[in-house]
Amino acid sequence: MTQKLALVTGGLHRVGAAIAARLARDGYALAIHKRSPGEADAVLADALAETGALSHRFAADLADPAAVEALIPAVIDRFGRAPDLLVNNAAHFAEGGWADLSADALIGMMQVNHHAPVMLARALVAASEGKRPAIVHIVDQRVAHPVPDQIAYSLSKSALWQATATLAVAFGNRARVNAVAPGLTLATDDYSAAQLERLAKRMPLGALPTPGEVADAVAWLARAEAVTGQTIFVDGGAHLAPLGRDFVALERD
pLDDT confidence of residue 136: 99
pLDDT at 209 over 60: yes
Q: What is the pLDDT of residues 238-248, one digit of tens each?
A: 999 999 999 99
Name, in order, each residue with C-beta under 8 angstroms of 104's C-beta and a sequence gap of 6 or more: none
Residue 78 has pLDDT above 70, yes or no: yes
Render pLDDT for 6-31 as a digit per residue (tens, 0 to 9): 999 999 999 999 999 999 999 999 99
Q: What is the pLDDT of residues 33-68, one digit of tens each?
A: 999 878 999 999 999 999 999 999 999 999 999 999
Average pLDDT taken over every residue of the chain: 96
pLDDT at 19: 98
Predicted pLDDT of residue 1: 56
Residue 215 has pLDDT above 90, yes or no: yes
68-72, 98-102, 164-168, 232-236: least confident range: 98-102
Stretch 151-178: mean pLDDT, rounded?
Answer: 98
- Whether residue 84 is predicted with pLDDT greater than 60 in this model: the reply is yes
Kindly state the average pLDDT of the residues 223-233: 98
Write the burial class of residue 136 (CB in 10 Å: 0-12 exposed, 13-18 middle, 19+ buried): buried
Is the pTM higher than 0.85? yes
Task: Tell me the average pLDDT across 159-168.
Answer: 98
Q: Where are the domains of the chain?
A: 5-249
**Other residues' Cβ atoms within 10 Å of the Cβ of residue 166:** 13
Q: What does the pLDDT read at residue 58? A: 97
Whole-angstrom distance, CA of residue 175 vs CA of residue 104: 33
User: Are residues 97 and 155 in contact, defined by beta-carbon separation less than 8 angstroms?
Assistant: no
3-state secondary structure (DSSP) of residue 63? coil
Domain spanning 5-249: CATH 3.40.50.720: yes
